[in-house]
Amino acid sequence: MKRITLGLVLVLMSLTIGLQGCTQKKASHGNRQQAEAIRELGEAYMTEENYTMALRELLRAKQLYPDDPYLQNSLGLTYMARGRLETAVIHFKRAVELNPDYSPARNNLGSAYIALENWDRAIECFEAVKDDLLYATPYFSLSNLGYVYFRKGEYEKARAYYREALDMERRFPRALHGLGMVAFATGDIDESIRRFEQALEVVPDAVNIYMDIGRAYEKKHEYSKALNAYEKVASMAQNTSLGDEAETAIRILRNKW
């Protein structure tokens, strides 16, 4: 997604609107330019997480030029952020229909299917993306495949995809975290802690990984370390469901220890 300031987008919009000509051909070109400028305004709101304003501008752009795959992808991302997953799928699919080589949109479609727990459709998307030699970040799709197979309980496949992602990006935290989750699920607690620690070296503010390493330390009866991890989550994720979960874990652990 192109990052652009709101002020610059407004200038681009005023310039674009002034370019509309008299003939049908010029008007069509002008509408397209205007739609792209409005889309960029919507995307600027997306970067600010103002999804209400983003959606308003993106829908305005859609009225002028609905066959823009980048617009359809941005609409999908906005609806996904608003929890409208089925609608997001419609727009991601439309983006891919308009541009079959648009791998980021296909990857986003797979992510929407993950959120819907439609694992088989997600696999189809990520398999296609990982085979795209022009896609700049294939380790994302490989890691996504690892997550899907982890959720399906196919741990060896999950481990293989996470490792393949790390072959491409050695310190990719999602793959490191994923390998830790696979190790935890298969009973290798020491390996899970090692992988969680590696991931935290890259993303030291990842509260979900602190929660997972806390569970691993607790499983290993290293209660002091577990308590320390849970307390970090409670402090960093106040007034969230994860923070509440950490508070509960702290109370249970203190009663046990």
74-85 per-position pLDDT tens digit: 999 999 999 999
Domain residue ranges in the chain: 1-64, 67-136, 137-204, 213-257
Q: Which residues contact 33 (CB under 8 A, 6 or more apart)?
A: 16, 19
Give the C-alpha separation, 6 to 177, whole Å: 36
State residue 134's pLDDT score: 83
**Residue 75: alpha-carbon gap to chain centroid:** 15
Q: What is the dihedral of CA 21, 22, 25, 27, to 10 degrees?
A: 50
Long-range contacts of 74-81 (CB under 8 A, 24+ apart): 74/1, 74/39, 74/42, 74/43, 74/46, 76/105, 76/108, 76/109, 76/112, 77/1, 77/46, 77/108, 78/42, 78/46, 78/51, 78/54, 79/55, 80/108, 80/111, 80/112, 80/115, 81/46, 81/49, 81/51
We find that the CATH architecture of domain 137-204 is Alpha Horseshoe (1.25)
Read off the pTM.
0.81
State residue 132's pLDDT score: 87
State residue 117's pLDDT score: 96
Asked if the model's pLDDT at residue 176 lies above 90, the reply is: yes
- What topology is assigned to 67-136 in CATH? 1.25.40
Chain segment 24-70, per-residue pLDDT in tens: 344 367 789 999 999 999 999 999 999 999 999 999 999 999 999 99
Share of the chain above pLDDT 70, in %: 89
Q: Taking the CB of residue 199, how many other CB atoms lie within 10 A of it?
A: 25
Give the amino acid at 101. Answer: D
State residue 148's pLDDT score: 97
Q: Taking the CB of residue 121, how many other CB atoms lie within 10 A of it?
A: 16
